[in-house]
Amino acid sequence: MVEGLSHITFMVKDLDQMEQVLVNVLDAKKIYDSGDKQFSVAKERFYDIGGIWVAVMIGEPLPTQTYNHVAFKISDDEYDQRLAAIKALGLKVLDGRKRVAGEARSIYFYDYDNHLFELHSGTLKERLRAYAQ
């Protein structure tokens, strides 16, 4: 039986650069840095983002940008602050998709390695309610 999400891993060309995204935009707390040791396939760092274990490892960035993404929950009153943090890092922000009234707001942005992130201010329950109307 699947118990839930264990962790998310991102392959990146620069651990420090990705750390700036995770810490400044997603309020990540670094909990581990392998330093010069290598226990897995590459040097790695672990972060806690809202109780989710996020691993970052040295590797090749994604070759292209797609709509595959990871979405993190934010409160709506944080929207402008998070958007400013993303823009301060010079990250590419996408125009949001057309929304159904009551669906909440999202910020979609790419990191330096073509990973797409979403910061979403709503919940699944709210989205389903909006779609039903």
Catalytic residue IDs: 44
- Look at the alpha carbons of 104, 89, 92, 8 in this order and tell me if their dihedral is positive or negative: negative
Write the CATH number for 76.
3.10.180.10
In sequence order, which residues have a C-beta less than 8 Å from that of residue 110 and are 6 or more positions away?
Answer: 65, 91, 92, 94, 116, 117
Q: What confidence category does residue 112 fall into, taking pLDDT thresholds of 50, 70 and 90?
A: very high
Q: Which domain holds residue 63?
A: 7-132
End-to-end CA distance of the chain: 35
pLDDT digits (tens, 9 = 90+) for 50-71: 999 999 999 999 999 999 999 9
Domain assignment present for residue 124? The answer is: yes
Domain assignment present for residue 57? The answer is: yes
Per-residue pLDDT at 29 exceeds 90:
yes
What is the rounded distance in angstroms from the CA atom of residue 31 to the CA atom of residue 94? 30
Write out the two tokens for 89: 């890092």
Domain assignment present for residue 2? The answer is: no
CB-based contact 19:29 (threshold 8 Å): no
Vertex 57 angle, CA 78 and 94, to 5° = 40
What is the rounded distance in angstroms from the CA atom of residue 98 to the CA atom of residue 49? 28
pLDDT digits (tens, 9 = 90+) for 124-133: 888 888 888 7
Domain assignment present for residue 117? The answer is: yes
Per-residue pLDDT at 122 exceeds 90:
no
Please compute the mean of the pLDDT values over residues 72-99 and round it to a whole number.
92
Number of domains composing the chain: 1
Domain assignment present for residue 1? The answer is: no
pTM summary value = 0.89
**Three-state secondary-structure class, residue 93:** strand
